[in-house]
Structure 1
Amino acid sequence: MSEYQTPRFSLPLLAVGQAHKELFHNEALLLLDFLIDSVVLDVSDDPASLSPAEGDYWLIGPVATAEWSGKSDEIAGWSNGGWHYIKPQESMKIIMSNNQGMAIYHDASWQFIVQVNGPAGGTIIDSEARSAIDSILDALRTARILPHIN
């Protein structure tokens, strides 16, 4: 970490007498814009295969190529100024768009969370317990603690 970067996400800090402060300030705001509501479109290894729009983010896959080479597991975001990268931190959570689920960065890798289904089947059915469990699962999905995959 440089003395002109934040410790967790390496956001650029301003320095006394620094030229073009607006560039560093804007870079920090772009990254914060993502960190406030961390939604990625998908996992990808090759930026050349994408048609990014401003504000689109991808999770860089394990076989990153071209501009993304050496940036596996980072998050790449597109703006008019090009690609911006976020290095994941322990316990960081992202939401995969289109109800694909969620992932948490744990022990130096992304752990994808699978959908938890409500109770089904069995020989003895307690409908009140099933209803309570389904309500809890719905609340966890609404709070984005559990993914809701269609």
Structure 2
Amino acid sequence: MSDTSANLSLPFIQPSQAQKHVTHNEAIARLDLVAQLAVVAFDAVTPPAAPVEGAAYALASAPQGAWAGRGGTIAAFQNGGWVFITPRAGWIAVAADTGRLRVMTATGWKAPVLD
């Protein structure tokens, strides 16, 4: 059995694991981030000077500062630090300020094609 779930990479509690609440809380925090995914910005390059707890950013291919080397991921500020999640093809996110939708594809975030 894997250590994480197949779709959201939520950590599983392992048999005989100490401090099970840590793994459970990590899974809840990750689920809180990716369910109904709303981002402050798409193609973000520079971390904000004063990040807000829970704020998420869809990073550009070559972000800078604390986000360097994490291009193409979702950066979320949780528990006073940055957490990075790799989005999978098919994920949908909305820009919190404009309400515009984007869908993750093999080549990055794209505007959805609506028939």
Same fold (TM > 0.5): yes
Q: Is the 8 A contact 1:5 1:12 kept in 2?
A: yes
**Which deviations, in whole Å up to 9, do the C-alpha atoms of 1:53-110 show, x marking residues without a partner?**
1111111111122332232121111112522222111111000011151210112411
Paired residues for 1:114-133 under 5 Å:
none
Structure 1 residue 113, shift from structure 2 partner: 4.8
Residue 54 (1) aligns with residue 77 (2): no
Question: How has the CA–CA distance of structure 1 residues 31 and 14 changed in structure 2, closer, same or farther, with 3 Å as cutoff?
Answer: same
Partner of 2:3: 4
TM-score scaled by structure 1?
0.66
Q: Is the 8 A contact 2:40 2:56 kept in 1?
A: yes
Cα distance in 2, alignment partners of residues 101 and 14 from structure 1: 36
Cα distance in 1, alignment partners of residues 19 and 65 from structure 2: 29
**What SS class does the counterpart of residue 111 from structure 2 fall into?**
strand
Q: Taking CA–CA contacts closer than 8 Å with sequence separation of 6 or more, which of the two structures ends up with the larger relative contact order?
A: 2
Letter in 2 for 1:20: Q
Q: Is the 8 A contact 1:101 1:113 kept in 2?
A: no
Please list every run of 5 or more consecutive structure 1 residues that lacks an aligned counterpart in the other structure: 115-144, 146-150
Residue 39 (1) aligns with residue 33 (2): no
Paired residues for 1:84-95 under 5 Å:
84-95=83-94
Which 4+ stretches in 1 moved above 3 angstroms? none
Root mean square deviation, CA, Å: 2.2
Structure 1 residue 24, shift from structure 2 partner: 1.4
Q: How many residues align?
A: 113
Partner of 1:22: 21
**Which deviations, in whole Å up to 9, do the C-alpha atoms of 1:11-34 show, x marking residues without a partner?**
111101112222211111111112
Q: Is the 8 A contact 1:41 1:97 kept in 2?
A: yes
**Which deviations, in whole Å up to 9, do the C-alpha atoms of 1:102-143 show, x marking residues without a partner?**
2101124111359xxxxxxxxxxxxxxxxxxxxxxxxxxxxx
Paired residues for 1:65-76 under 5 Å:
65-76=64-75
